[in-house]
Structure 1
Amino acid sequence: MLAFWLVTLCFLSSTVAAWPLQDIFRRQTATAPTKFMFIFGDSYTATGFSMSGTQPSVSNPLGNPPVPGIRLSGGDMWVDTVMKSYARNGTVAYDFAVAQNTVNSSRVQNPNPPTPNGDFRGQLALFESTIGAAASSKLKWKAANTLFINWFGINDIVIQAFQGRNGSTAQAILGPDVADYFGRLERQWQLGGRNFITILVPPISKIGAFGWGTGPDAANVAALTQYWNAQMQSANSQFQKLHPYASSRIVDPTATFNTILSNPQQYGAPNATCWSFPEGQPCLWHDFGHPGIVIQTAFGKQMGSLIQSIGF
């Protein structure tokens, strides 16, 4: 039942649809962007952006939809905070993230019907078919003025727990899944990307779906999260060695999440286990699977500080 409702909430998110290129670029404003962020992920990142809607511009850097739209936080996501809270004139963001997405839907053996674009592979395929490689893109993005941000792994781990897989059985799936992730990072490099941020999985064992950290699956999820994050860090080191002239950074949201969850009243919430649906506040959770506005905003500030420090 928990799995059913978690998936139902995820399906509330909008999908990213392809659209003829001539219509996309006709919507560009007269002032051309000078820096770009291309963002990929799941419901912790998705804003509901569609390539068929209003496109990002200097005056409207996230394009569509307006806040709150169908964001699974009740309001601002971390992406919104990054773009609102830090002065980065000329920077626009294309958020290809889709709720419920994994790195490789076939690999993780997701029993649920695939969502549009399906996974990281589908999101990147849409990027290629609409925006395209640096060498040929009408957006005129370049290696030096573009940042790729990727956040996956949450659903990859949740699926293993809901399917009763743990320990070596789950690791046998998640290990190759990490390799698939870096296969997509390699593809972003081939397309012209040279600046990358990989976001690790936060402490999702503490969400309501796992009894706020005390449910029967919580220990397994915590262990799989630790495994996933360690594998991602190791693989990123290898990627960086393979591409010494690229910059591939790891961001860990764990401390930000834990600080807030350990001190809920300092952040305006009565406790760390209530949720505010659909408002996303004052409780720390939007529902039993997604962080609300307070956590999203705090992580947005963490990300914004890093992004600003590297020139975006």
Structure 2
Amino acid sequence: MGFSRLVMGVSLAWTALQSLPVALAIPHFISFGDSYSQTGFDINLSKPSASNPFGNPAYPGYTSSGGPNWIGYLVTTYNSSLLYSYNFAYGGATVNASLVKPYKPEVKSLIDQVKQFSSSSLATNPPWTPKESLFGIWMGVNDVGNSYGQNDSVLLGKILDDYFGQVEILYRAGARNFVFLSVPPINKSPLMLGQSKQAQELEAKYIVQFNDALANRTGSFKARHEDSRAVVVDSQAPFNAAINDPKKYGSKDATCFNSDGKSCLWFNDYHPGLAIHKLVAEAVVRAWNGPPFKAVRVYSS
């Protein structure tokens, strides 16, 4: 079975998720993240509209999946009405570039992305309301990937301090609905499987620490802001569903990669392809549609 852990008040078990509706009923989705989420959206160019809810660039945007990523699937497939997407995610991002350096200096961290949001008309003259908007953050892949070797719990605490410092900024701007995606099993990526067993195990351990901290901080955030709803989406489960049964998702095995995004589970040696992104989108919607704030035990293999 692998390890089990208690996610306090913010998540649903993968098996329970399968029976929930796969349609997001909120019309505005405002997101932040790294290359797993990036679409190349520019807030200063064409805005989402009824004729083009994706805004810019042309769908599916500039992704690392070989086609649409999980945000693209939310906009086009897993919604019950028009879903307008405003996506500030930037490839290579960490939460705070001064704590964990990205691969190049110009990468926009989560802090930078929230500053972009805060200085834009999306915040100063919002087309959304607190009730009819959902804010999503998928961060941690690069924070973990670039620092797991240090195995530094103090650093991890500082990263989560800054993560939820940005959540507080979004809350003050009117955000009340949040989905936070956990760090997926990047220790099982083709890139990491080419590293030593010790490195894989150390990264896996640090992922657990990050995800447990994310769950605990989310619970604390909710306790401080009772008018908000915050859900942690267990991204480990959709990744593992594909990795444990790759042929079901059109891949010969769990480690091949192909830039078409379709014939393998992975787009390249570190980024998932279409099938995994589609599963992640389903997990986001089902987690959001599920009963909030229940403590459940989540099993990851």
TM-score in same-fold range (> 0.5) = yes
Residue number in structure 2 paired with 1:154: 141
Amino acid at match of 1:152: M
Number of equivalent positions: 266
**C-alpha contact 1:100 1:115 (8 A) present in aligned 2:** no
Task: Tell me which of 57, 63, 68 is aligned to 1:76.
Answer: 68
Amino acid at match of 2:238: T
* 1:187 paired to 2:169: yes
Task: Tell me which of 192, 202, 205 is aligned to 1:220.
Answer: 202
Task: Tell me which of 288, 293, 296 is aligned to 2:274.
Answer: 293
Residue number in structure 2 paired with 1:115: 106
Moved more, 300-309 or 290-299: 300-309
Residue number in structure 2 paired with 1:165: 150
Q: Output the CA distance in 2 between the equivalents of 1:193 and 1:145.
A: 10
**C-alpha contact 1:58 1:89 (8 A) present in aligned 2:** no
Q: Output the CA distance in 1 between the equivalents of 2:196 and 2:254.
A: 13
Q: Output the CA distance in 2 between the equivalents of 1:171 and 1:272.
A: 31
* TM-score between both structures, scaled by the size of structure 1: 0.80
For structure 1, the 5+ residue unaligned runs are 1-33
* TM-score between both structures, scaled by the size of structure 2: 0.83
**C-alpha contact 1:101 1:120 (8 A) present in aligned 2:** yes
Amino acid at match of 2:129: K
Q: Output the CA distance in 2 between the equivalents of 1:59 and 1:131.
A: 20
* 1:262 paired to 2:253: no
**C-alpha contact 1:205 1:219 (8 A) present in aligned 2:** yes
Tell me the SS of whatever aligns to 2:184. coil
Residues 264 and 215 (structure 1), Cα distance of their counterparts in 2 relative to 1, 3 Å cut = same
Amino acid at match of 1:101: A
Shift of 1:111: 6.5
Tell me which stretches of 4 or more aligned residues in structure 1 moved more than 6 Å. none
Q: Output the CA distance in 2 between the equivalents of 1:124 and 1:147.
A: 15
CA RMSD of aligned residues (A): 1.9
Shift of 1:300: 1.3
Shift of 1:132: 4.6
Shift of 1:44: 0.6
C-alpha deviations, 1:42-76, integer Å up to 9, x for none? 01111111123322112211111224442100011
Q: Output the CA distance in 2 between the equivalents of 1:213 and 1:294.
A: 25
Shift of 1:292: 0.5
Q: Output the CA distance in 2 between the equivalents of 1:142 and 1:165.
A: 42
Identical pairs, percent: 32
Shift of 1:302: 1.9
* 1:126 paired to 2:113: no
C-alpha deviations, 1:262-312, integer Å up to 9, x for none? 1111111110010012x11210000011000111111112223344669xx
Q: Output the CA distance in 2 between the equivalents of 1:113 and 1:54.
A: 27
**C-alpha contact 1:280 1:286 (8 A) present in aligned 2:** yes
Q: Output the CA distance in 2 between the equivalents of 1:172 and 1:309.
A: 33
Q: Output the CA distance in 2 between the equivalents of 1:300 and 1:196.
A: 15
**C-alpha contact 2:92 2:103 (8 A) present in aligned 1:** no
Tell me the SS of whatever aligns to 1:217. helix
1:190-201 equivalences in 2 (<5 Å): 190-201=172-183
Residue number in structure 1 paired with 2:4: none
Moved more, 81-90 or 142-151: 81-90
Residues 281 and 140 (structure 1), Cα distance of their counterparts in 2 relative to 1, 3 Å cut = closer
* Bigger RCO of structures 1 and 2 (CA < 8 A, at least 6 apart): 2
* 1:275 paired to 2:231: no
**C-alpha contact 1:147 1:193 (8 A) present in aligned 2:** yes
Shift of 1:130: 1.1
C-alpha deviations, 1:115-173, integer Å up to 9, x for none? 34x2111001001111353xx41x33221111111110110001114xx423xxx2221
